[in-house]
A and B are shown apart, each in its own frame.
Chain A
Amino acid sequence: MPKDSGIGASPKRREDVRFLTGRGQYTDDININGQLYVHFLRSDMAHATINGIDTSEAEGMPGVVRVFTGADFEGVGSIPCGWQVTDRHGEPMQEPAHPVLAQGKVRHVGDPIAAVVAETYAQARDAAEALVPDLEELPAVIDMKDAVKDGTTKVHDDLTSNLCYDWGFVEENRDAVAKAMDEAAHVTTLELVNNRLVANPMEPRVAVGDYNPGTDDHTLYTTSQNPHVIRLLMGAFVLGIPEHKLRVVAPDVGGGFGTKIFHYAEEAFVTFAAKQIGRPVKWTASRSEAFMSDAHGRDHVTKIELALDAENNFTAIRTETYANMGAYLSTFAPSVPTWLHGTLMAGNYKTPLIYVNVKAVFTNTVPVDAYRGAGRPEATFQLERVIDKAARELGVDPLALRRQNFITEFPYATPVAVEYDTGDYEATLSKLEEIADISGFEARRRESEAKGKWRGLGMNCYIEACGIAPSALVGQLGARAGLYESATVRVNATGGLSVMTGSHSHGQGHETSFAQVVADMIGIDDGMVEIVHGDTSKVPMGMGTYGSRSLAVGGSAIVRATEKIIAKAKKIAAHLMEASEGDIELKDGQFTVAGTDKSVAWGDVTLAAYVPHNYPLEEIEPGLEETAFYDPANFTYPSGAYACEVEVDPETGHVTIERFAAADDFGNVVNPMIVEGQVHGGLAQGIGQALLENCSYDEDGQLISASYMDYAMPRADDVPMFDVDHSCQTPCTHNPLGVKGCGEAGAIGSPPAVVNAVIDALQSGGKNVMHIDMPLSPNRVWAAMQGA
C-alpha cells in the first residue's frame, strides 16, 4: 500500500492550488504605492566605445523622473563574482569590473547603457527612444578560439587578454596522462560542441526596489532562487547596505533553472534608484530582454580523448575545453566549467588517470553561468559520447564496455578529487534494460524500417555531484561563500508548525515535500506544517536553491532543527507525565512513557510550552522554536542510466523521439510524484538541448536567436511518454535523510542518449556518421548524411 502522508507518500503539490487558480503572488504582482517604472536602453552593438549619451531630450519628456547613465554609478561597486578560480600556474583568474550601467564601453548586445525612470512604463520606453548614445563600434569578439589568439581585440582593455583562466586538473597528472595516451592500445578522440542555451523560465525577471527614508530600510523584491545571496552580494559588494538594513524578498518565482541564482545589474539598479529618487522603482523584463540579459548556459567547445588498454579497460582521459564566460563574470560562472565539470569527468568508471584542461574565455556575448546541471551535463555528454564512439571503433557492445569499466566498490575516490559515497551502477543499468524493453528493440527497428524510417537506440550512464556542498571544501576551491543551509522550526501553541527554510522553491514543490519530512518525524498530518521561504526578514539565512541541494542540504537543516524540537518536546512531555526524559517515545504525534500506558498528545506538549503553568521552568525556557544550520560532509552522487529510441526520416533528417526511459538512483525518495515530475522536466530540457535549442550569435555579435520565432523550445509533442524508475536506491551515507537530489538528473543524463540514438539510427541506415553537434536539427542530420 502506498503511504498517503509523510516520507514516501505522493500527496499532490499544495502550492499548485494557488498557482493553478491564479492566486500566486509573483514579483510582477507586487505594486507599491507611488511606484515608478524603469526602462533600460540596451546596446544594439556587441562591442563599442561610448563617446557620450545625450539625455537632454529624454529628460524633458512627459512623465520622466530621472535618467541614469554609467556616470551615476561611479563610486558604486561592481557586480561581484562569487567564485575565484586559480589557474594552472597558481595565478588567480582575470576578473574584470562589471558596472551596473555600462561605463566607457558596451560589451554585448543587451548591455544596459542608460535607464529612464518615469511615471509609467510606456513613458519610460518613449523617453529611452529619445536617448542619443554616441557609440563607436569596435570589432566583436565572438569565436572563443579566435578570442585567445595574440593580437585579438580585447573585451576588457585592462586585462592582459581575453583568457579568464587556463585551468588544469589534476595538474600533477598532466604528464602521466600524456604518457598513458602514448602507451594506450587504443585512443578514441571526439571533438564536440556543447551548445549555448537560454534558460527561458516561464516568468521573465522582475525587480522592485523600495526605500523608506524614515527608517533607512531598503527592500528589494526580485525573481531569485536565493534572496539571502542577493542580499549579501548586492548589499556588501555593490551598494554598501548592511544586511540589517536590506530586506530581499523572492516571492513566488516562475521557474529559474539556474538563471535566477545570479545577482543582476537590474536588481542593484532598482534598489539604488529607489533611494536616489525616494520612490519605489519597478522593472519587468520583456521576453526579448530576457534573451539578451539573462545569463546563458553551457557553450563549451571540447576535445576529449579516451585511452584504453588491449582488454578495453579505460586507462586515461584527457580533455581540452574552451568555456565561454561571455562579456562579464556572472556570479558562479568560473566554477561551472571547472569544479562542477572537471570533478565529474570520471563518470561511473574507474579510469585511473584524468586530466582536464579548461580555458575560460571572454567574448562579446551575454554572460554564461549555471543552467540546470551546470558543468555536469557538459562532463556527462563528452564522456558518454566518447565511450559510445570507442565502442563503435572497437566493435564492442557499448553497454558491455561501460559495465566492464564500472566502479563497483564504494566509497570510491576518483582521480579528480571527489569521493563517491554510494552507488550501484549495475543496478540502474539492469533496471533500465528492463523498463526500456531493450530486448524488444530489434523488432521495433524492423517496424520502423517497414515505414521507411531508421530507428536507433542510444544509452548512457551518468553521475552527478549534488547537494552543493561542504563549505570547507568549496572554500579551498575558490568559493567566496559557505554552502550550508539554515532552518528554523517554529511550533505554535496549538501544535501547528511554521518551518522557515533558506531553500527557495520555484517549481520544485518544497512546500509539499519539506512538510512531509517534518510531519513524518513528529507523526502528525502534513497539513499541520507550513513551509516559509523566500524572504530574508523571515528566514535566518539561506544559500538558496541550485545544484539539486534543497532536500539534501536544506532538508537536512530542517531535520536537525526538528530533532532539537523533538528533544525539547520530550523534556516537556516527561515533566507532564512525571517520567524520566530517557523513557519518552514519540510516535504518531503521541508521547508515551516506555513500558506504561501513559501518553500525552503533541498538542498538549506544544500548549504547555506556551502556557507554562505546569512546566519545568528551572530546566528549560518556555516556547518551542529551534534553528539549525547544516553543512554537508560531502556532495551527494545521484546516478543512473538512460535510454532513448529515435526514428530518423532518411529523406529529411527529421528526428522524432519514440521512447525514453530513465532509471535513476536518488537515494531515499520523499515524494515520488514530485521526483518523477522533476525527472520529466529535466528530460524535456535535455531533449530540448539535444534536438531543438540553440542560442546563436552571428560574427558581428548579433543575437540571431533572440525570440521564440528562432529559439526552439521543446513542446509537449516533442517528447514521448517517459518511462521513469527510481526504485534503485543506495541512500546517501552522510545526510540524515539519505537523499541525493533529483532536480538536474534529467537534463544531465538525456542529451548523450539522444545523440547516441541518432548516430545508431544513421549507422543502421548505412551512414557512417560518428558525431553530429547539438541541436540535431533536421538540417544538421541531413547534412551529416550527405557524403557519409
Chain B
Amino acid sequence: MYAFEMERPQTIADAVAALKDEDAQALGGGQTLIPTLKQRLAMPSKLVSLHGIAQMKGVCTDDDGRICIGGATTHQQVSESAGDYPALAWLASRIGDPAVRNRGTIGGSLANNDPSACYPAAALGSGAVIVTDNREIAADDYFQGMFTTALNEGEIITEVKFPVPSHAAYMKFIQPASRFPLVAVFVAKFDDGVRVAITGASEEGVFRWGEAESALSGNFAPEAVDGLSVDPSGMIGDLHGTKEYRAHLVGVMTKRAVKAAAAGETGVSSAH
C-alpha cells in the first residue's frame, strides 16, 4: 500500500464533495479495492469511505413494488433482507465467503463491474435502475464492458432499484480458485417478457442473451433454449475455461436457471 488520506463523511453530499479532490476514490467494503491497494496497483491520494452514510444502507420496497437497496448495503444484509426477491437474496448469499459478505457492498460491486461479478447479472437481468448522487441510470445503459460503466469520475451509487419478477433464478458455475462465476446466468420472468443476463463469460463483461430472451418469452421452459448458442469468439478464454467451454456453459446454465425459476427455486451454485 502507498500512504493515503482517509475521510469518513456522514452524508452523500459530503461524500460527493470529498470525492472532488484529485485522485480521491470512494471506498465501499474494500473487498476489491483493499487487495488492489495492497498490491500497489492503485495510488489514490484519499479514500472516501461510504461506510458511515446511513442514507446509503438498507433494503426497502418502493411504491412501485421495487426492492431498493442502498449503495453501501453489504451482501450479507441483502441476503438477509431482500426476501421479497428470493433469487437476488440467494445470489448475495453466495458471493465470496462470510468475511467478504460482511464488508462488500452492492455499490462497490456494480461500480467495479468485474466481468465475473454476480451483481451485474442480477441488475441487468432484472432491468434494475442504478441511482447515483445526481441521476438514475437504467441497467441497460449502465454496463459498458469489462470494468467500465456509465459512472462519471467521483459519481457514487447511492441506491439500486430492482423490479421484482414473477420467476427468477441465478445459476452460478464457479471458477474453482476464486469461486467467482466462471459462467453464471440470471434469468428473470416478468409479465412483459424474460430477461437473461450472463456474467463471467464475455470479453465485453455482463451481457443480455437476446436470442434466448425471445425464445423464453414465448415459452418459459429449458427446451426453448435448445439449439441456441452464443458465439465462442467473444468469450473469455483463460486457465480455467476455454472460449468454447464458456460458450457451452452459457447454454447449460441458462437452461438450468430456467428450470429452477420455473420450479420456484432461487438458484444453484456448483460449489457446495
Contacts and interface: CB of A to CB of B under 8 A. Distances in A.
Interface of A: 122, 125-126, 129, 288, 651-652, 654, 691-692, 694, 696, 704-705, 708-713, 717, 777-779, 782-783
B209 interface: no
Contacts of B272: 717
Given A696-B239, A783-B242, A652 B177 contact: no
A717 B271 contact: yes
Contacts of B3: 122
Interface stretch (B101-109, B187-195, B245-253): B245-253
A704 B238 CA distance: 10
Task: Tell me which of A694, A696, A712 has the highest count of chain B C-beta atoms within 10 A of its own C-beta.
Answer: A712
A288 B178 contact: no
A779 B242 contact: yes
B173 A652 contact: yes
B176 A712 contact: yes
Nearest to A125: B40
A54 B252 CA distance: 55
Nearest to A126: B2
A38 B209 CA distance: 52
Nearest to A692: B176
A415 B108 CA distance: 63
B251 to A, nearest CB: 9
B270 A652 contact: yes
B42 to A, nearest CB: 14
A124 to B, nearest CB: 13
A11 to B, nearest CB: 32
A709 B248 contact: no
Interface string B176-220: 111000100000000000000000000000000000000000000
B241 interface: yes
Contact of A709 (B40, B173, B178, B241): B178
Interface in B214-265: 239-242, 245, 248-249, 252
A709 B177 CA distance: 5
Given A779-B245, A783-B245, A712 B177 contact: yes
Given A705-B239, A717-B271, A710 B245 contact: no
A710 B239 contact: yes
Interface string B25-58: 0000000000000011000000000000000000
A727 to B, nearest CB: 31
7 contacts: A122-B3, A654-B270, A692-B177, A710-B239, A717-B271, A778-B173, A778-B176
A744 B39 CA distance: 35
Contacts of A717: 271-272
A601 B215 CA distance: 88
Contacts of B182: 778
B177 A651 contact: no
Contact of B239 (A651, A704, A778): A704
A651 B173 CA distance: 12
Task: Tell me which of B173, B240, B242 has the highest count of chain A C-beta atoms within 10 A of its own C-beta.
Answer: B240
Contacts of A129: 40
A716 to B, nearest CB: 9
Contacts of A691: 176
Contacts of B1: 122
Given A129-B40, A710-B239, 19 more contacts: A122-B1, A125-B40, A126-B2, A288-B39, A652-B249, A654-B270, A692-B176, A692-B177, A704-B239, A709-B177, A709-B178, A712-B177, A717-B272, A778-B173, A778-B182, A778-B245, A779-B240, A779-B241, A783-B242
A777 B176 contact: yes
Contacts of B39: 288
Contact of B240 (A654, A708, A777): A777
Nearest to A654: B270
B246 to A, nearest CB: 9
B169 to A, nearest CB: 17
A782 B245 contact: yes
Task: Tell me which of A129, A708, A709, A778 has the highest count of chain B C-beta atoms within 10 A of its own C-beta.
Answer: A778
B57 to A, nearest CB: 29
A712 B248 CA distance: 22
Nearest to B179: A715
Contacts of B178: 708-710
B177 A710 contact: yes
A198 to B, nearest CB: 12
B177 A708 contact: yes
B252 A652 contact: yes
Rank and list the top 5 A-B pairs by shortest CB-CB distance, nearest first: A712-B177, A717-B272, A712-B176, A709-B178, A779-B245
Contacts of B249: 652
Given A708-B178, A717-B272, A777-B240, A651 B252 contact: yes
Contacts of A125: 40
A651 B249 CA distance: 8
Interface in B156-176: 173, 176
Contacts of B242: 779, 783
Nearest to A696: B239
Contacts of B173: 652, 654, 778
Task: Tell me which of B1, B177, B182 has the highest count of chain A C-beta atoms within 10 A of its own C-beta.
Answer: B177
Contacts of A712: 176-177
Contacts of B240: 710, 777, 779
Contacts of A779: 240-242, 245
Contacts of A122: 1, 3
A711 B175 CA distance: 10
A269 B182 CA distance: 42
Nearest to B97: A715
Contacts of A778: 173, 176, 182, 241, 245, 270
A156 to B, nearest CB: 29
